[in-house]
Chains A and B, each alone.
Chain A
Amino acid sequence: MKNNYDILIIGGGPAGALAAKTAAEAGNTVCLIEKRAAIGTPVRCAEGIGKELLKEFIKPDPRWIAADIERARLISPNGTTISLEQDKAGNEVGYVLDRKIFDRELVWQAAEAGADVIVKTRATAPIMENGAVRGAKVLSVGMPADIRAEVVIAADGTEAQFARRAGLDTVVPLREMMSCAQYLMTDIDIDAGSTDFYLGNEIAPEGYLWVFPKGDRTANVGIGISGRKSRDGSRAKDYLDRFVAKNFPNGKTIEAIAGGVPVCRPLACTVADGLMVAGDAARVVDPITGGGIGNAMLTGRLAAQVASECIAAGNCSKEALMPYDAGWRTSRMGTILERNYKVKEYFVTLDDAKLNTLAESIANISLKEFSVLALIKELITRNPKLLLELKALKDTLS
């Protein structure tokens, strides 16, 4: 194992892979370490992504696309269904991926670009010198080693321990941690072209339950609930088991996974001296949808672009790396994150009666565009009093 690189990347998910690929293509020496023994597994994801967002980073490939989605349905507590159809909207809906293959493809591309990839290697602490990150102390298949680098990109997902140990506050408040469980189920009656979102405080308090198809009669059936609603007997798994018993009693579960999705605001700052934070570790998950794959790839790539410039200029201080933080914050993604955070903070206050009323008000709409913003605009058009209830919602329309 080499012990000195231009850029060290912690984590082999979409953020780390895009960072590694971008950094290697720019001519840097790059090392990506992954603490698990295999890239892409175990999956901790519902695997949905918007088509347009995905295409910004990689050409869609049937090898890792499990389902092509034509519509999304929102199902309110009383069963009122809002159906958003791709052929009525001005843009495309999305794909459900096979993350095991997808993540491997991304890391494969990084390796092909010249990045070193090392699995079963865990960063235990940053190497700190004069307050700056200068690499990582690692355990590689149990062997301690130091890997030094000009810049470390922390893409270590929900746990986000690397940045934390470098002095950034990455702790997620309990109420903003979505506690999630998911079954990959087969032999179930589903609409293979529809991603379904079930809302309601009995179904999924302060979150939602999803059925994302992965082919005919097969789907990710999962749920996220707020950590503050999670207790013995009413945990994510309990809600999921109740839903499955009622809706898919004869389905077969071929994979059971769990996960935590942070729906807090992004980190206050995603750079420090010699350090950048990307993807879920930076808390750039969409607070409404819980989607994080696209934002991970975006921040991973941008981090590597800025890091490359800073290394070429010989200055990897926090100040020099700041264009990364400012770059994503002022991007379309940054704007959407802030807007959807405010929308989320409003929606978690709604009881089931209110959710039903809102759903009924837009049950037969045809959206011109397929997006959270379009949906919110339609809701407000039909329910002008919403603006009185929450001024922040008004700001989201600008």
Chain B
Amino acid sequence: MSTMLRINRDKCGYCGTCVAVCPEDALELIDVYLSLERECIACGICARACPLGALEVVHEE
């Protein structure tokens, strides 16, 4: 099983709140889209902080 961060770009307001709370500096807000640029530890802190619910840690078989 693996965990990963799923970004819903239709919900995302590209505000950068997630970037500032990410303990790994894994997220990057590039102009008008959010991108997972570096290794994510699936801690879920960004998903908690997101004002819009655009981020989700998903577990895959």
Report A's interface with B, CB cutoff 8 A: 35-37, 42, 44, 120, 122, 157-161, 164-165, 170-174, 177, 179-181, 227-228, 230-232, 235-237, 256-260, 262
Residues of B within 8 A of A158 (CB): 15-17, 19-20
> Which B residue's beta carbon lies closest to that of A181?
B51
Contact A235 B16 (CB under 8 A): no
* Contact across chains for A258 and B15 when beta carbons are under 8 A apart: yes
1/0 contact string of B1-39 vs chain A (CB within 8 Å): 000000000000111111111110100111110000000
A/B interface sample: 22 pairs, CB < 8 A: A35-B30, A42-B32, A158-B16, A159-B19, A159-B29, A161-B19, A161-B28, A165-B25, A171-B22, A173-B21, A174-B49, A177-B17, A177-B49, A180-B17, A227-B45, A227-B48, A227-B49, A258-B17, A258-B52, A260-B17, A260-B18, A260-B51
Interface string of B39-56 (1 = CB under 8 A from A): 000000100111111000
Bound-state CA distance A35–B23 (Å) is: 22
Chain A residues within an 8 Å CB radius of B23: 171
Q: Assess A171 versus B52: contact at CB under 8 Å? Given A37-B31, A164-B25.
A: no
Residues of B within 8 A of A42 (CB): 14, 32
Question: Using Cβ atoms and an 8 Å threshold, which residues of chain A touch B30?
Answer: 35, 122
Does B49 lie within 8 Å of A260, measured CB to CB? yes
Interface size on B, residues (CB 8 A): 24
Closest 8 CB pairs of A and B: A260-B17, A258-B13, A236-B51, A258-B15, A159-B19, A227-B49, A258-B51, A159-B16
Choose one: B13, B25, B50; the contact of A230 (CB below 8 Å): B50
Find the A residue at minimum CB distance from B30: A122
- CB neighbours (8 Å) of B29 from chain A are 35, 159
**Distance between Cα atoms of A283 and B50 in the complex (Å):** 19
Q: What CA separation (Å) do A235 and B53 show in the bound complex?
A: 7
CA–CA, A179 and B49, complex, Å: 6
Chain B residues with CB below 8 A from A171, complex form: 20-23
Complexed CA–CA distance, A122 and B37 (Å): 14
Contacts of B15 in A (CB 8 A): 44, 158, 180, 257-260
A49 to B45, CA, bound (A): 31
A262: chain B residues within 8 A (beta carbon): 20
Q: How far is the CA of A171 from the CA of B17 in the complex (A)?
A: 11
Determine the residue in chain A with the shortest Cβ distance to B53. Answer: A235
A100–chain B nearest beta-carbon distance, Å: 15
**Cα separation A95 to B17 with both chains bound (whole Å):** 26
Contacts of A173 in B (CB 8 A): 21
Q: Once the chains are docked, how many angstroms separate the CA of A312 from the CA of B2?
A: 55
Q: Which residues of chain A have C-beta atoms less than 8 A from B45's C-beta?
A: 174, 227
CB distance from A158 to the nearest CB of B (A): 5
Write the nearest CB–CB distance from B43 to chain A, whole angstroms.
10
Asked if B51 contacts A237 (CB within 8 A), the reply is: yes
* Chain A proximity of B34: nearest CB distance (Å): 11
Q: Is the CB of A179 within 8 A of B53?
A: no
- Which residues of the partner chain B approach A237 to less than 8 Å between Cβ atoms? 51-53
